[in-house]
Amino acid sequence: MLNKIEIDQKKANEGVWASLLESKFLIASVEGKKFKQAIFNLGSKPLSDDELIRIMSESILLDWQCVKDPNGHWLPYSKSLAIVALTTNDAVRKFVDSVSTDMSRYFKS
């Protein structure tokens, strides 16, 4: 029966919405084309933490809603702010990592 489970490539590439507290994040899978291509393009070069965060901001964390800065101001999504969030907020980084590697979120319906 497990051999019948298939990943929905549209979900894997374009992401699924997932909630963390009152915020929502659009998160693509590590099985998505952009992430796989970015890792492949590294070749044998070691993957630094900064490089991983850059790749995550470009290929995994695709959008967000209802995200505020520490002063309570709404933050629009941008890749540069995604890098800041992934770098400075351990809970967000762990959440994005957890969702992007949870294949059950990307199964075909």
Taking only the tens place, the pLDDT of each residue in 23-67 is 999 999 999 999 999 999 988 888 899 999 999 999 999 999 999
Q: Determine the 3-state secondary structure of 72 from DSSP.
A: coil
Say if residue 71's pLDDT is above 80.
Answer: yes
Q: How confident is the model at residue 3 (pLDDT cuts 50, 70, 90)?
A: low
Q: Going edge to edge, which strands form the sheet with 61-65?
A: 16-20, 23-27, 61-65
Say if residue 77's pLDDT is above 80.
Answer: yes
Can you give the pLDDT at residue 1? 46
Say if residue 2's pLDDT is above 60.
Answer: no
CA separation for the pair 38, 42 (Å, rounded): 7
Residues contacting residue 10 through CB under 8 Å, at least 6 positions apart? none
